[in-house]
Amino acid sequence: MTDASQKQPEQIRFHVLYADDDPLGQASIEKALKARGHACTLVNTGRACLDRALESPPDLILLGVDMPDMGGMETCERLRHHEVLQNVPVILLSVDDALENRLAGYAAGGDDYVGKPFEVAELIARINATIKRHRSLDEIRRRASSSLLTTDGLMKSLGEASVIIHFLQSISTCKHHETLARHIIQTHSGLGLDISTELRVNDEAHHYCTGGIVHPLEKSVFTYVASKGRLVDFNERTVVNFPNISILIRNMPLHDNIRYGRIRDYIAIIGQAADSKIADIESAATMREQYEGLLRISDNTKQTMEELKKAQRRYTESGEDILSSLAGSVDESIVLLGMTEAQEDYLVSEIETAQQRMRGLAVFGARLDERLGTILTGLETTLANFSPPEETQDASSEDEAVTFF
């Protein structure tokens, strides 16, 4: 029996429009979608896809790239020219899965690119993920629009510059790249921008985006544009590159030249500040590692010194015991050895000399212990006065609301 207190996974229902000239592939996808309670409409040309989408916009469009009359790439570009279809997610399907074609699909406005042949279950999962992401983005756009249109809204009274000021203030205390990424996404959302970003921290790439789901296609885009200069345009999508961060804006305002230029300036400020902050985070992490390494060295040195002191005391005491025992044995049996008086005096003198040397070694060891102790105390004092950046939890949550100053 299922525990009623356990939250069940959200079951979303959606309508997919599938345009392709592959009837067998269409049939298998339609069957799989309907078996899961979803709706699916099939057309076999790009023109029919445009007409049907305009008549009744679906939740997602599947496009075969290699349709004869009007291919999937061109169809996707035309879909993006219609305001009512601009935000409908599109997944492109093709037998040619080369990187150049994937990037061409992204430039045409596609959200994902799946190579043929594909596993039906995998494609359904990609459809689910894409629709969930777009529904999340729709909600973010709705909130942003509501904020911008509010009569007494801070955005309207203070303008977009307040978003940038807030961002610069917020990241000054960031100690983790996850928190920095959250501020980057919130800031772009405040500007009405849908983004994906790659942060490169200690040679490791971390991906974040509006809505929380980064498609593999966008990861490929980041890899491709890494060496292509500061700005790379894919129509309404623009990537801004810095040494430690790349920001991909998915909805640049191409039809508003003034705002377009302003947004590019804002992105440059955000990217430069974030790039510097990542360098600071890396530097702080390195300092923490070095500090922790010195602490370990200090602790190990102290432990080793204590062990050496104990061993030295044991060896000194043992040596003195051996010499004392030897001296006693010589005294008791010296008569039996048949030595002359001079030989006896020489032997006793040598034993006494050895005892004195042993005591001298003990004194030297004590002085060495004292010197090492002084060095260790100096190291501990230095470490106590050296305070690297503390690794504390950033005071912000994933649901933190953006406050404008």
DSSP letters for 146-175: HHHH-TT-HHHHH-THHHHHHHHHHHTT--
Same domain, 29 and 128: yes
Same domain, 219 and 111: no
In the prediction, which pLDDT does 62 show? 95
The pTM for the full model equals 0.65
Same domain, 281 and 295: no
Half-sphere exposure of 121 (CA within 13 A, CB side): 0
- CA pseudo-torsion sign 405, 153, 161, 281: positive
Rounded to 5 degrees, φ, ψ at 175 are -120, -5
Same domain, 32 and 142: yes
In the prediction, which pLDDT does 390 show? 56
CA distance 250 to 253: 10
In the prediction, which pLDDT does 288 show? 75
Task: Indicate the number of domains in the chain.
Answer: 3
Residue type, 292: E
Q: Give the CATH number, domain containing residue 39.
A: 3.40.50.2300
Residue 367 domain boundaries: 291-385
Taking the chain (405 residues) in consecutive chunks of 10 residues, what is each chunk's mean pLDDT?
42 86 90 92 94 94 91 92 89 90 89 89 89 76 54 48 85 88 89 89 88 80 86 86 92 84 89 91 79 76 74 71 69 65 74 74 73 73 63 44 29
Same domain, 295 and 277: no
Tokens of 371: 């010197």
The residue behind tokens 């990609």 is 126
Spell out the long-range contacts of 48-53 with Cβ–Cβ below 8 A and sequence spacing 24 or more: 48/19, 49/17, 49/19, 49/75, 49/79, 50/75, 50/78, 50/79, 52/17, 53/17, 53/79, 53/85, 53/88
Same domain, 234 and 329: no
List, as one string, the DSSP characters of 240-252. EE-SSEEEEES--
Residue 210 and residue 188 in contact, taking contact as beta carbons nearer than 8 Å: yes
> Which residue among 285, 316, 351 closes a domain?
285
In the prediction, which pLDDT does 332 show? 64
Closest CA to 124 of 217, 62, 66: 62
Tokens of 142: 């709705």
280: Cβ contacts below 8 Å, ≥ 6 apart: none
The neighbour count for residue 388, using CB atoms within 10 Å, is: 17
Q: How much is the CA Rg of the chain, to the nearest whole Å? A: 37
Residue 252 in domain: yes
Same domain, 110 and 180: no
In the prediction, which pLDDT does 19 show? 95
Residue 93's DSSP bridge partners are 64, 114
323: Cβ contacts below 8 Å, ≥ 6 apart: 351, 354, 355, 358
Same domain, 258 and 332: no
| Residue 17 DSSP SS3 | strand
The residue behind tokens 């912000």 is 396
Residue 331 in domain: yes
> Which residue among 223, 255, 285 closes a domain?
285
Longest dimension (CA), the chain: 128
Question: Taking the mean position of all CA atoms in its chain, how far away is CA 271?
Answer: 16
